[in-house]
Amino acid sequence: MVQVCFVCLGNICRSPLAEGVFKSLVAREGLENKIFVSSAGVGDWHIGELPDARMMQTARKNGLQLTSRARQFQAEDFHSTDLILAMDESNLSALEQMSPSLDAREKLRLFRSFDQENRGDLNVPDPYYGGAGGFDHVFEIVQRTCPGVLQFIKDRSGL
């Protein structure tokens, strides 16, 4: 089983959406028994909460129900997880600081490094303090980037 974890700051906007979109992609390809998908936050403010209502609404509008509960990424997660996808560069540096070894650090990637339309911008913008349009923009980025992540996993693990 390949374990993949999406990580943002609060685990209530960007990474729960990526978890939901990626899970649906994995299910569509019949790979639920091969790829385990989760998400987490580097912060602890929202532990136990459902995703932000605005993110859930954007997801629902696009046919996706988000049901995850926020949790904080722990150093031990480096052991159980094969691929850790940071939603922005600040999340990545927080994860780098937590990583227990060089091997663990190699599990880290920036999510948007798999976005063929990133035009050099490797951050999924944090929509939390902005307007509704920010959530749609995050959806667009996540939707377009997830297939590249799946292809990377398939190539690397021979799925």
**Which residues in this chain contact ligand 4NP in the complex, by CB under 6 A?**
8-14, 41, 45, 126, 128
What's the closest the beta carbon of residue 17 comes to ligand 4NP, in angstroms? 8
What span, in angstroms and rounded, lies between the C-alpha atoms of 2 and 75? 18
Task: Please report how close the Cβ of residue 75 comes to ligand 4NP at its closest, in angstroms.
Answer: 19
List the catalytic residue out of 52, 77, 88, 126: 126
Strands 83-86 and 2-8: parallel
Taking phi over 0 as left and psi of -120 to 50 as alpha, with beta for the rest, 51 belongs to beta
- SS3 for 91? helix
Q: Is 126 a catalytic residue?
A: yes
Report the residue closest to ligand 4NP, judged by CB.
10
Q: Could you tell me the CA-to-CA distances from 81 to 30, 76, 85, 99, 107 in Å, in that order? A: 21, 9, 10, 12, 8
Q: Kindly state the smallest distance separating residue 29's Cβ from ligand 4NP, in Å.
A: 26
**Is 8 a catalytic site residue?**
yes
List the catalytic residue out of 5, 8, 13, 146.
8
* Residue 60 appears among annotated catalytic residues: no
Catalytic residues, by residue number, are 8, 14, 126
